[in-house]
Chains A and B, each alone.
Chain A
Amino acid sequence: MANRTIPRLLQTPAVLLLLFWMIVPLAMTLFYSFIRYVLNSTVRPEWTTPSWSNWRGFGNYEFVMNSKDFILAIKNSLFIVGSILTLTVVLGVMIAVLINRSFPGRGVVRVLLISPFFVMPAVNAVLWINMLLDPVLGLQGIAISAINDMAAGMQDAPLVGWFFNLWPVLEPISFRATQTSAIAVIMMVTWQWTPFAVLIFMTSLQSEDQQQKEAAVLDGASRWSQFRFLTLPHLGRPMAIVVMIQAIFHLSLYAEIEIVSRGNGNKNLPYLIGEFTNNNIGAASATGIFAVILANIVAIFLLRAVGKTLME
């Protein structure tokens, strides 16, 4: 017994530190979520200090669930995360397979491919929404007005004029609008995170067994069959990693949503927490607990799904 006590004693500080690191914030969030706690109130000044006497039970949770943006935030969280995961994995696999072959300048192409990942999220959002997606000044606006001008200019031309008369005048899309701001966020985050998926899939592809492929060639497998039955299952585990890590990051997206539309028509749970934090800490904490629950459900669901479909 004695020779086990000392190692345990020596481990204790680290274990305790980790425990506090996790437990304290979680416990405080839980505590705040069950009491009335606001930052500023002239009517009820006693609510501005957290105390057991302000106990509200599940009142904060009820308040959050009844707030008009809650369902939107949950749906939007899932929509944004789901879309980004699908797009990054599909694009990631495609690009990784493409650049896994040898071609001149492969090293340069790989470095360039990785570079979006080094752009800061806020910078990424500002660049996309102002310089690329803006309906007037961005690349989108310029491109669409150029196409419209060209079509208009050709309408009087002999022979082909009738063809351009059939063209409708294209309308640029405003990505700050209620209906489209989530799409803008998905586009910019996908652009930023696809390199991450490519990087992981690429390293995995390089460890693929070449003799297995040769065996498959002899067995009569087409390129597609080789990809479907060898490469894709081989990528199963890295895909699970990409999906897990990205799910964690994208459930907490904030900067992009703030910059694109300030939450107009496009909120997720972190954004909702941010809005509540302006004054109502109790409601913000309750939303935080909802976010923890949602993250866990997503994690379990994704792991199962990815594991099952790919391992045959």
Chain B
Amino acid sequence: MGSIVLDKVQKKFGDVEVIPPLDLEINDGEFVVFVGPSGCGKSTLLRMIAGLEDLTAGKVNIDDKDVTEVSPAKRGLSMVFQSYALYPHMTVRKNIAFPMRMAKIPQDVQDAKIEAAAKSLNLADYLDRKPGQLSGGQRQRVAIGRAIVREPSAFLFDEPLSNLDAALRVGMRLEIMELHTKLKTTMIYVTHDQVEAMTMADKIVVLQAGVIEQVGSPLELYHTPRNKFVAGFIGSPKMNLIEGEEAAKHDATTIGIRPEHVSVSKTEGTWKGTVGVAEHLGSDTFIHVHNTGLDTGEGDLFTVRISGDIAVSHGDTVYLTPDMDQLHRFDAQGLRIA
């Protein structure tokens, strides 16, 4: 069990409204990712669910019970922090045992649970070490182990991979996803990394300035972003947003085309431009095209992503042809035109 319903929750720090009243429903067993730029209130929202921040108004319901006034420990949620928040002077074993020790669970049950958690997280060899003697990835696994043994109704992850290097991050991402398939427990995951959001989530919640911009599956957000912000935020490299004359041709204030939905030719195409930087990744090439004559906003930059390699260099003239089926149109309010 672990369905969480936020009912008009609101958070103010003094006079500053960080999160205007907000509704959200999270179903049992779902992997939900809160994503948004820094300072959008996603961590605050998570901490409000955990009970670490008081609500200014509204209600938090877990499994149809109002837990707004319930203490964090009694909400049955486990949290994994960005800084791991391990207890530095306790061994890994004692760290994992800590929540059970606080709940006064019998020692033999504790030992069994620690063994099980250590085995599933590959920590068996490190149980008697202290956190200071572990690598970042191992520490994060200990933090996850400490969260698992409580058998919570939901896991809360607060940017758990931000302190890891890129290679470890990919590995831990997979481990957390596997954990989710195995435990089938609700997980709420906060990140500013849209790649993590896209790869892990069943449901993504895009936040900006405390407001939910869109809720949906990763592919829904990719294919039908509800507004300009979501369109620009989801997808890497960013979607090209074009305004002015070219947009008017399509009866829109703004049109958007993703870099991967544009083909490049050296001889002919819809739009013409000069190559700035070309980033060759081997599997893909990102080409930054300038002087397209399109109103792409500040910097006059149009990004194209093509698979494989293409022989272009700085200053070359290229022609761009967008895939019209993949064109996104937005009205004056920035909302999607169906």
Interface residues of A (CB under 8 A from B): 209, 211-212, 214-222, 225, 229-230, 233-234, 236, 311-312
Contacts and interface: CB of A to CB of B under 8 A. Distances in A.
Interface of B: 50-52, 72-74, 77-79, 81-83, 85-90, 94, 98-99, 102-103, 143, 146, 150
A221 B79 contact: no
Contacts of A217: 52, 72-73
B73 A218 contact: yes
Closest 8 CB pairs of A and B: A220-B73, A219-B99, A215-B85, A211-B85, A220-B102, A233-B89, A211-B81, A212-B85
A312 B143 CA distance: 20
Contacts of B77: 218
A222 B94 CA distance: 17
Contacts of B82: 211
B90 A312 contact: yes
6 contacts: A215-B81, A215-B143, A215-B146, A218-B73, A219-B98, A220-B73
A288 B52 CA distance: 58
Contact of B89 (A211, A214, A219, A236): A236
B87 A230 contact: yes
Contact of A219 (B51, B52, B73, B83): B73
A220 B72 CA distance: 8
Which of A212, A215, A230, A312 is the most central at the interface, judged by chain B CB atoms within 10 Å of its CB?
A215
Contacts of B86: 212, 215
A213 B160 CA distance: 17
> Which label, helix, strand, loop or mixed, suits the secondary structure of the A interface?
helix
Contacts of A220: 73-74, 99, 102-103
B200 to A, nearest CB: 22
A234 to B, nearest CB: 8
Given A209-B85, A211-B81, A211-B85, A219 B150 contact: yes
A164 B238 CA distance: 87
A212 to B, nearest CB: 5
A224 to B, nearest CB: 11
Given A209-B83, A211-B83, A214-B81, A219 B102 contact: yes
Contact of B72 (A218, A222, A312): A218
A216 B98 contact: yes
A312 B88 CA distance: 11
Nearest to B90: A312
Contacts of B50: 218
B81 A219 contact: no
A196 B5 CA distance: 51
A27 B275 CA distance: 83
Given A214-B52, A218-B77, A229 B98 contact: yes
A128 B73 CA distance: 49
A214 B85 contact: yes
